Amino acid sequence: MRVRLGTAMLLLLAGTVTGQQALSSERYLVLATARTKTLRAELDEAVAKGYTLIAGEPASDVLVLEKKPDGAPRRYVVNDRLVSTVRNGEYKGYQILPWSLSSSQYEVGAILESLNEGELQPEYKLSSTAFTRNLQKDLAEASSGGYRAVALTGLNGQAVLLEKSGSVGESPASYQLLATKKISTMEREIADGAARGFRVIAATGTGHEILVLLEKESDPAKKREYRVISTSRTSTFEREINQAAAVGYHVVRGTGAALRKGSVLLGGTYAYEQAIIMERLADTPRVRYLLVGAQREGTIQRELNAAPAECAIATMFLSFQEAIILLACPQQ
């Protein structure tokens, strides 16, 4: 696949992990390579050794796996032409993992996971456009046909993945798409949407903007509160996330975003921020977060395996500078 921005290139230049070097008894395994064919071979080898795919950025050929010897065996396909795959219905026998939806400068990619016997075959639509208003229109049309949005990605344009599970009796979903350059504005608009019964289901960075997708809540009795955490420093990012977690907020998976900020003080160059959305819902157990942020896949793998056993990966995304993984741990 085409490398997304500069982050994956830094990962790749740092040295790839070969199948022989990487496979071990460790809990986590990180694969990163510039050749999709090589990545597919290493992924197959890892699965044969009892690893399950749990996170990553397929459009940048960076994957994270966890050792689960007792899990049901699955087959995976690293797909770097998702637009045509969905359009032609070439995903039969597989489901698309929503967290894996990602975009490069030229393509939309994802991971396809094999269905076990008896599992229903989902149907998919993928809307990809350079204009937010067109995406909102596509969402409304697909929703009327029984599809629900499950993932969002963006870079030079935006793309939303929609899924129809085959369940009967579901009413059409209602969506709202928000886009702004200012985090404070986004937080205010999300709060307004939550007050009207919407919940955040996905977000992405689209260059200078953050794009957030909200869905009408099926249970109007649920009251959700949101915070948008955004900073240019990884250490500050982790601290502010845990300050919110201490009062009951949880990271919403699939809302990590890389933002590019222009600055006259920097001589016309860009500063960069990472952002993520957190949600508070009554009676949800509190957690704390560990942040792993690095450019080298070897460093990422080492730090993940050094994390306490009770912690689990909550989400992963690429900033403009490094891969960021957040692990959720029980709050002591």
Amino acid identity of residue 170, one-letter, is E
Could you give the 3-state DSSP secondary structure of residue 18?
Answer: coil
Amino acid identity of residue 328, one-letter, is A
The domain spans of the chain are 1-120
Residue 260: its pLDDT value, please? 78
Distance, first Cα to last Cα, the chain: 42
Distance CA 231, CA 332 (A): 26
282 neighbors 252 (Cβ within 8 angstroms)? no
What are the residues whose beta carbons fall under 8 Å from the beta carbon of 67, sequence distance 6 or more? 25, 26, 27, 28, 29, 50, 51, 52
> What does 86-114 look like in DSSP terms, one character per residue?
HHTTTTTTEEE-GGG-EE-SS-EEEEEEE
Residue 262: its pLDDT value, please? 60
Distance CA 291, CA 284 (A): 21
The tens digit of pLDDT for each residue in 268-313 reads 556 788 999 999 998 889 999 999 988 788 899 999 999 999 999 9
303 neighbors 292 (Cβ within 8 angstroms)? yes
Q: Which pair of structure tokens corresponds to residue 147? A: 């599809």
Residue 186: its pLDDT value, please? 94
Could you give the 3-state DSSP secondary structure of residue 120?
Answer: coil
170 neighbors 216 (Cβ within 8 angstroms)? no
Indicate the helix (H) or strand (E) that contains 161: strand 158-164
Residue 1: its pLDDT value, please? 43
12 neighbors 298 (Cβ within 8 angstroms)? no
Regions of the chain where pLDDT drops below 70: 1-24, 71, 105, 155-156, 166-170, 262-270
Distance CA 199, CA 25 (A): 39
Residue 216: its pLDDT value, please? 93
The tens digit of pLDDT for each residue in 11-37 reads 544 444 444 444 567 999 999 887 888
Distance CA 140, CA 8 (A): 34
